[in-house]
């Protein structure tokens, strides 16, 4: 059963602030406040799905289009040679927030040496990276 009190549900309802990068009718992208690398961005669907397996097929295309658009902007904005897309399903797989989300991480697997959700970033740094990414969404 979907927990409507999870942090991403609260962000979607505007109860908790987030540094937003992109938003459309089906998705919201924002900066990870505990990034593994600079520019680490999250994309979530505006649907109450805990995992990918809970997202209705008719939502999947819109969600992945949002992921693709934001991933291209993260790669360009962070001048990354590549990007890692990471999506975990269930606590046993390492999912820490029970709302479907895709991690967009500029760089490579080698850059993921820093543990996930370990250190909170400074808001001004996150805002700076968000602006770099947003500049490539407007193109």
Edge to edge, the sheet with strand 102-106 lists 20-23, 27-31, 41-45, 102-106, 83-86
CA distances to 82, 109, 119 from 103, rounded to whole Å, are 14, 13, 16
Q: Which of 26, 40, 99, 101 is catalytic?
A: 101
Q: What whole-number distance in Å separates Cα of residue 132 and Cα of residue 78?
A: 7
Beta bridge partners of 22: 29
40 is catalytic: no
Catalytic positions? 101
């Amino acid at each position: 059963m979907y927990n409507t009190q999870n942090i991403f549900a609260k962000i979607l309802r505007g109860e908790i602030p987030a540094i937003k990068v992109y938003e459309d009718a089906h998705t919201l992208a924002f900066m990870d406040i505990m990034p593994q690398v600079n520019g680490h961005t999250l994309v979530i669907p505006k649907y109450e799905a805990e995992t990918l397996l809970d997202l209705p097929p008719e939502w999947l295309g819109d969600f992945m289009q949002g992921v693709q658009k934001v991933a291209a902007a993260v790669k360009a904005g962070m001048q990354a040679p590549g990007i890692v897309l990471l999506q975990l399903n269930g606590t046993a797989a390492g999912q820490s927030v029970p709302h479907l989300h895709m991690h967009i991480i500029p760089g490579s697997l080698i850059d993921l040496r820093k543990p996930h959700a370990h250190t909170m970033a400074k808001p001004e740094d996150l805002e700076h990276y968000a602006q770099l990414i947003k500049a490539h969404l407007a193109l």
